[in-house]
């Protein structure tokens, strides 16, 4: 195992840790003291830091490095404090390698062809609601693919809320928290009509767009109304391969989104690129809703490229080759990652009743992380 410590040696203000795979990491002494995990430095219940970083001695010096517990721990003492610190080898190696406390789930990009080959991978409601192992598998699948179907629910609002709260708490928005609706114009949004809705993401007008969304069909009598999903990350990769310059423009120009309802006194406005990346350049969010795009004037030098990139994104998202189309029958729920998966709906005739909710991105990730640390996955 590469996270076992073979040896540790001091070199001025560094502690050089050699791992069982032969790799060596040089940990700065100040950093090590600042990250002591003893009960005096890290609260054992809240896991909040207790050490006063800025009161540590200027002449702080590590002494007597010891490898303990068959390579699973490093022990240091400190002068002039006479303080002893113990460090978990696995945690040190994860931090040295730039990893999170738990392994991230690898994303699986998909399109119509891959889903036809691999299937949708539905999960039963009974296991989802009662078995932590099955819940962990389901949330891992949701994280990996960006969507999940839960089958066999009672077609009731109570069953919908039970699924949502099995994951985390429901997010409150201008539309409320939990939804139970039919076609009407109580809200100024085409989602509450019977019209066709093209692929989009929700909350482009919110600084922190909703992370996950769920739709549960409670009743349907009519025709049409199929749900439509698009893997935004798959579309982004296609653009990157076909037109890297346009990909770069869609990742750099911040696009404003807005929600405006004078009667309710609401005017939300936020902006971010269609393709948002983290500081390492990894794609972390697709944010696209042409209907909610607010007026703005890009730099003249890039205006034409912006519209060209937006047109390409729109064309690919509306290409059946990149779409999944499925009907939500009563008792069937769809959960999807709103930071990745675009959703839409075919027009319908008849009566349809849906229930659903938003859940924050961080809360779904938290639930999965806890399940991973418990060993459920």
Indicate if 28 and 104 belong to the same structural domain: no
> Given a cut of 80, is residue 194 above it in pLDDT?
no
Q: What is the mean pLDDT of residues 52-67?
A: 94
Which CATH number covers residue 79?
A: 3.30.2020.30
**pLDDT of the residue at 10:** 97
Indicate if 362 and 307 belong to the same structural domain: yes
| Greater model confidence, 188 or 282 | 282
From 377, 365, 366, select the one nearest 143 (Cα to Cα): 365
Contacts of 10 (CB under 8 A, 6+ apart): 16, 62, 63, 65
* Tokens coding 24: 């060596």
Domain boundary among 64, 80, 96: 96
Indicate if 217 and 365 belong to the same structural domain: yes
pLDDT in tens, 151-175: 999 999 999 999 999 999 999 999 8
Indicate if 55 and 141 belong to the same structural domain: no
Indicate if 70 and 152 belong to the same structural domain: no
**pLDDT of the residue at 103:** 73
> Given a cut of 70, is residue 183 above it in pLDDT?
no
Q: pLDDT-derived band of residue 66, with 50, 70 and 90 as boundaries?
A: very high
Indicate if 11 and 84 belong to the same structural domain: yes
Indicate if 284 and 188 belong to the same structural domain: yes
Indicate if 270 and 327 belong to the same structural domain: yes
- Number of compact structural domains in the chain: 2
pLDDT in tens, 69-119: 999 999 999 999 999 999 999 999 999 998 877 777 899 999 999 999 999
Which CATH number covers residue 220?
A: 3.60.130.10
Indicate if 136 and 285 belong to the same structural domain: yes
Indicate if 64 and 203 belong to the same structural domain: no
Indicate if 25 and 47 belong to the same structural domain: yes
Indicate if 349 and 242 belong to the same structural domain: yes
Dmax (CA) for the chain in angstroms is 78
Tell me the C-alpha distance between 292 and 169, whole Å.
27
Domain boundary among 67, 96, 125: 96
pLDDT in tens, 335-351: 999 999 999 999 988 99
Domain boundary among 65, 96, 127: 96
**Domain that includes residue 229, residue range:** 100-377
Q: What is the pTM of this model?
A: 0.89
């Amino acid at each position: 195992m590469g996270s076992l410590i073979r040896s540790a040696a001091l070199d001025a203000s560094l502690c050089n840790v050699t791992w069982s795979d032969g790799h060596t990491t040089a940990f700065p002494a100040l950093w090590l003291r600042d990250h002591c995990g003893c009960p005096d430095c890290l609260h054992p219940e809240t896991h909040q830091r207790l050490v006063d970083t800025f009161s540590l001695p200027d002449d702080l010096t590590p002494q007597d490095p010891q490898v303990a517990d068959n390579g699973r721990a490093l022990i240091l003492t400190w002068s002039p404090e006479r303080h002893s610190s113990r460090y978990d080898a696995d945690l040190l190696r994860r931090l040295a390698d730039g990893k999170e406390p738990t392994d991230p789930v690898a994303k699986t990009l998909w399109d119509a062809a891959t889903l036809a080959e691999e299937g949708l991978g539905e999960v039963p409601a009974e296991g989802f609601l009662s078995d932590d192992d099955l819940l962990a598998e389901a949330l891992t699948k949701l994280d990996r693919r960006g969507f999940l179907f839960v089958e066999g629910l009672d077609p009731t609002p109570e069953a919908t809320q039970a699924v949502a709260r099995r994951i985390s708490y429901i997010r409150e928005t201008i539309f409320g928290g939990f939804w139970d609706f039919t076609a009407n114009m109580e809200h100024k949004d085409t989602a509450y009509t019977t019209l066709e809705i093209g692929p989009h993401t929700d909350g482009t007008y919110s600084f922190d767009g909703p992370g996950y969304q769920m739709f549960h069909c409670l009743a349907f009598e009519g025709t049409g109304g199929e749900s439509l999903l698009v893997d935004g990350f798959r579309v982004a990769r296609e653009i990157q391969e076909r037109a890297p310059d346009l990909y770069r423009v869609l990742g750099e120009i911040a696009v404003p989104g807005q929600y405006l309802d004078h009667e309710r006194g609401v005017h939300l406005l936020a902006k971010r690129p269609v393709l948002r990346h983290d500081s390492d350049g990894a794609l972390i969010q697709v944010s696209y809703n042409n209907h909610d795009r607010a007026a703005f004037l890009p730099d003249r030098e890039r205006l034409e490229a912006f519209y060209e990139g937006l047109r390409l994104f729109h064309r690919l998202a509306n290409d059946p080759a990149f779409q999944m189309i499925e009907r939500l029958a009563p008792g069937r729920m769809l959960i999807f990652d709103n930071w990745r998966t675009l959703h839409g709906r075919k027009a319908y005739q008849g009566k349809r009743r849906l229930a659903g909710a938003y859940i924050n991105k961080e809360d779904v990730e938290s639930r999965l992380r806890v399940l991973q640390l418990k060993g459920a996955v």
